[in-house]
Amino acid sequence: MRVKLIVAYDGTNYCGWQIQPNAVTVESVLNEALKGLLKENIRVIGASRTDSGVHALGNVAVFDTDTRIPAEKISYALNAVLPEDIRVQKSEQVEDDFHPRHCDTVKTYEYRILNREFALPTKRYDSIHCYRHLDLEKMRAAAAVLTGTHDFKSFCCVNTQTETTVRTIYSLEVLRQDEMIIIRVRGNGFLYNMVRIIAGTLMEVGTGHKTPAQIEEALLRKDRSLAGATAPARGLTLVGIEYV
Interface with its own copies, residue 121, by CB under 8 A: yes
Interface with its own copies, residue 225, by CB under 8 A: no
Task: Tell me which of 18, 52, 67, 79 binds its own copies, using CB under 8 A.
Answer: 79
Task: Tell me which of 24, 52, 85, 160 binds its own copies, using CB under 8 A.
Answer: 85
H or E stretch including 220? helix 212-221
Position 120, amino acid: L
Residue 1 to residue 64: CA distance in whole angstroms: 6
Residue 240 to residue 107: CA distance in whole angstroms: 6
CB nearer to its own copies: pick between 124 and 209: 124
Q: Is the dihedral of CA 33, 66, 77, 239 positive or negative?
A: positive
How many amino acids of this chain bind its own copies (CB under 8 A)?
Answer: 23
DSSP class of 135: -
Q: Give min distance, CB of 87 to its own copies, in A.
A: 5
Interface with its own copies, residue 125, by CB under 8 A: yes
CB nearer to its own copies: pick between 118 and 244: 118
CB nearer to its own copies: pick between 11 and 228: 11
Residue 169 to residue 159: CA distance in whole angstroms: 22
From the list 43-51, 61-69, 83-91, 134-142, the region that binds its own copies by CB under 8 A is 83-91
Q: Give the number of other CB atoms < 10 A from CB of residue 181.
A: 23
- Give the closest residue to 103 by CA, choosing from 184, 156, 28, 45: 45
Q: Give min distance, CB of 52 to its own copies, in A.
A: 16
Q: Give min distance, CB of 76 to its own copies, in A.
A: 9
Q: Are 65 and 21 in contact (CB under 8 A)?
A: no
H or E stretch including 148? strand 148-151
Q: Give min distance, CB of 161 to its own copies, in A.
A: 31
Cα separations in angstroms, 159 against 11, 93, 187, 201: 24, 38, 22, 19
Task: Tell me which of 22, 122, 159, 164 binds its own copies, using CB under 8 A.
Answer: 122
Q: Are 108 and 239 in contact (CB under 8 A)?
A: yes
Interface with its own copies, residue 80, by CB under 8 A: no
Interface with its own copies, residue 89, by CB under 8 A: yes
135 tagged catalytic? no
Strands 166-177 and 180-187: antiparallel
CB nearer to its own copies: pick between 128 and 185: 128
| Residues contacting residue 213 through CB under 8 Å, at least 6 positions apart | none
Interface with its own copies, residue 118, by CB under 8 A: yes
Query: Which residue out of 10, 51, 151, 223 is catalytically annotated?
Result: 51
Q: Which residues bind its own copies (CB under 8 A)?
A: 8-10, 55, 57, 75, 79, 84-89, 117-122, 124-126, 237
Residues noted as catalytic: 51
